[in-house]
Each structure stands twice: as structure tokens, then as C-alpha cells.
Amino acid sequence: MQEIVAYCGLVCTECPAYEATKKNDNKAKAEIAEEWSKQFQHTFKTEDINCNGCLPIGEVQFSYCSMCDIRKCGSGRKVLNCAYCLEYPCDKLNNFHATVVEAKAKLEAIRNRK
């Protein structure tokens, strides 16, 4: 499977929501909803756990994707992900990467390959 890297640097193809969607595994979706509800102090339902990755426009994405400022910006700039943005890194990314360091590392690795 080809790796999908979201605008922010998260690897969609390693996300349990992505994997459960691809397998159409409702049991896994229910477990993820329960786990994420506790982890993020927000109520998620089984039907919220549907995602084909952050990047494809018009496909099923996780419920937060429609609100994500990083995704909106990257999509509007028509970049593959933020590693390809001329304004990398920006405040949106820096704030996100302060808590999700593996996403920053992924984007840095992509930038170093370019």
C-alpha cells in the first residue's frame, strides 16, 4: 500500500480509522470511537470513524477533517502536503507539531528528500 501523508505530516495509512475504513471493520471502528472519546474528551460514535485519508477531496474523511485549518490551507494552496509549501513551517503547523512531533519529523524527512 502506498503511504498517504496528510498535510500536517500524520501518516493516514497508519491511522486506525483509515485501516478500519479500508477493512469495513465496524468492531474496530467502535473500539476506536470509544478510545478516542476518552483520549480527546469528545464523544465519537462508530459512524464517525470513517476515513479514506486526509488528502482526497470529495471522499470520506474523518469528521474533524472538514474543520482542520491545516487541511484547508494545504488544499487551498494545492500542495501535496505542507512539506511542499513555500511558507513551511507556519504557525498552524508549529502549534500542531508542538504536541505531535512524529508528524513534524515526517514532513522534515520529506523536505530533506526534495
Q: How many other C-beta atoms can be found within 10 angstroms of the C-beta atom of residue 91?
A: 8
Q: What is the amino acid identity at position 49?
A: I
User: Mean pLDDT, to the nearest integer, of 35-48?
Assistant: 91
pLDDT of residue 55: 78
pLDDT of residue 28: 97
The percentage of residues in the chain with a pLDDT greater than 70, rounded to a whole number, is 95
User: Mean pLDDT, to the nearest integer, of 23-28?
Assistant: 96
On the question of pLDDT at 105 being above 70, the answer is yes
Q: Work out the burial of residue 21: count CB atoms within 10 Å of its CB; fewer than 13 is exposed, 13-18 middle, 19 or more buried.
A: buried
